[in-house]
């Protein structure tokens, strides 16, 4: 089984994807743990974090204003990240840190449940543990807000549909080529290996820089025929100052998780 390859855009900052290729066995789609609207009641530590886990994996995580978590993890190999999977779930921030019940979608397809706990969660750092099936993995990371990565500097800027409207061609984690067209009003149409889907992408009401994405798949040969899924999308400028990256991450129920990565 091969893994999806995501390029690293700087020496010290691991990004979710700067050009995806190859494939893994994580099914395509978006999911019901998607980004939601609302304002973070604890207000302060949402953002983007990157770091290392005791498993040897590099991870990237975004904590949304409503405390939902999306993350990816993989093995760094030179300027590439060999993606092992993604994690998503609903969390709660309090005086003791941050805790989320998560579903883990490894590229092998063996879905797992666990608890993501950050006891050192200051908005500058994100350190803690991931407990799954009796296995405890520790992780350490730092915030990328304000970094040279454009999305780090613009996370707290309202998302704009004009930045994502048009046609994007990229890949899912299963390696399938996918074409997505987004209208100026946020209507989404797309296809992947004969599976057509429609949906919407709208700026989140928190006025931070991500989109709430909802997709409804067609019938056969779609893996999840006639089902509606929800996720989040982000768009940002790569370090070359020219190329734009669109990423959509999410799950299909508790069955599968993926990241759609496209550039233009």
**What domains appear along the chain, each with residue ranges and CATH number?**
5-152 (2.40.160), 156-263 (2.40.128.10)
Quick: pLDDT tens for 108-151: 778 899 999 998 777 788 899 999 989 999 999 888 776 655 66
Share of the chain above pLDDT 90, in %: 31
Confidence of residue 185 (pLDDT cuts 50, 70, 90): very high
Q: For residue 181, which of 171, 168, 172, 192 has the smallest C-alpha distance?
A: 168
Inter-residue contact 72 to 259 (CB < 8 Å): yes
pTM listed for this prediction: 0.76
Strand partners, 181: 167, 189
pLDDT on residue 80 = 57
Inter-residue contact 172 to 28 (CB < 8 Å): yes
| Distance in angstroms (rounded) separating the CA atoms of residues 166 and 168 | 7
């Amino acid at each position: 089984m091969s893994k999806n390859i995501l390029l690293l855009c700087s020496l010290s900052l691991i990004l979710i994807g700067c050009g995806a290729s190859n494939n893994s066995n994580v099914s395509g789609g978006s999911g019901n743990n998607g980004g939601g609207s609302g304002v973070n009641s604890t207000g302060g530590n949402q953002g983007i974090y990157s770091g290392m886990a005791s498993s040897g994996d590099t991870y990237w995580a975004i904590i949304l204003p409503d405390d939902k978590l999306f993350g990816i993890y993989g093995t760094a190999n030179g300027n590439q990240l060999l993606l092992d999977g993604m994690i998503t779930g609903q969390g709660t921030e309090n005086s003791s840190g941050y805790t989320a019940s998560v579903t883990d979608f490894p590229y092998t397809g063996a879905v797992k449940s666990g608890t993501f706990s950050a006891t050192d969660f200051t908005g500058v750092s994100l350190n803690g543990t991931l407990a799954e099936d009796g296995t405890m993995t520790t992780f350490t990371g730092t915030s990328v807000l304000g970094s040279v990565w454009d999305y780090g500097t613009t996370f707290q800027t309202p998302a704009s549909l004009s930045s994502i409207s048009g046609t994007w061609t990229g890949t899912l984690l299963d390696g399938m080529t996918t074409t997505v067209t987004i209208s100026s009003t946020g209507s989404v149409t797309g296809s992947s290996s004969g599976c057509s889907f429609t949906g919407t992408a709208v700026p989140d009401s928190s006025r931070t820089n991500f989109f709430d994405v909802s997709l409804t798949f067609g019938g056969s040969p779609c893996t999840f025929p006639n089902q509606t899924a929800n996720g989040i999308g982000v768009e940002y400028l790569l370090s070359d100052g020219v190329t734009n990256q669109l990423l959509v991450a999410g799950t299909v129920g508790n069955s599968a998780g993926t990241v759609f990565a496209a550039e233009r």
